[in-house]
Structure 1
Amino acid sequence: MSAHTVIRFADWTITPETAPEAPGIIHELECTTCGAISGANEDFEEVRDWAFRHVGRNPSHTGYREIIHRFWRAVLME
Structure 2
Amino acid sequence: MGELTAHTVIRWADWTIGPDVTPEAPAVDFAMRCTTCGASSGADEVFETARDWAFRHLGRNPSHTAFREIIHRPWRATLVR
The normalised TM-score by structure 2 is: 0.86
Q: Percent identity?
A: 68
**SS of residue matched to 1:75:** strand
What stretches of structure 2 of length at least 5 have no aligned partner?
Answer: 1-5
CA-atom RMSD in angstroms = 1.4
- Letter matched to residue 39 of structure 2: A
User: Cα distance, 1:7 vs. partner?
Assistant: 4.2
Does residue 1:30 correspond to 2:15, yes or no? no
* 1:1-48 Cα distance to aligned partner (Å, 9 max, x none): xx7723421110002111212122111110000000101001000000
Q: Secondary structure of the equivalent of 1:55?
A: helix
TM-score w.r.t. length of structure 1: 0.89
**SS at 2:56's partner residue?**
helix
Provide runs of 4+ in structure 1 moved above 2 Å: none
Aligned to 2:49: 46
Query: How far, CA to CA, are the matches of 1:9 and 1:70 in structure 2?
Result: 28
Report the AA paired with residue 60 of structure 1: S
Query: How many pairs are equivalent?
Result: 76
